[in-house]
Amino acid sequence: MDARLGDVIDDFCVKCRRLTNHSVVSLLNGAAAKVRCRTCYSDHDYRNEQAPPSKKDLKKAELFNAVLSGVAQPPAAAEESADGAEPKKSAKKPGKRAEA
Ligand SMILES: [Zn+2]
5: CA distance to ligand 1 center in Å?
Answer: 18
Query: 20 in the Ramachandran plot: left (φ > 0), alpha (ψ -120 to 50) or beta?
Result: beta
Confidence band for 90, pLDDT divided at 50, 70 and 90: low
pLDDT of residue 82 exceeding 80, the answer is no
What pLDDT, in 10s, does the model give residues 23-76? 999 999 989 999 999 999 999 999 998 887 788 888 999 999 988 888 766 666
72: CA distance to ligand 1 center in Å?
Answer: 42
12: CA distance to ligand 1 center in Å?
Answer: 8
Alpha-carbon distance of 14 to 18, in angstroms, equals 7
36: CA distance to ligand 1 center in Å?
Answer: 8
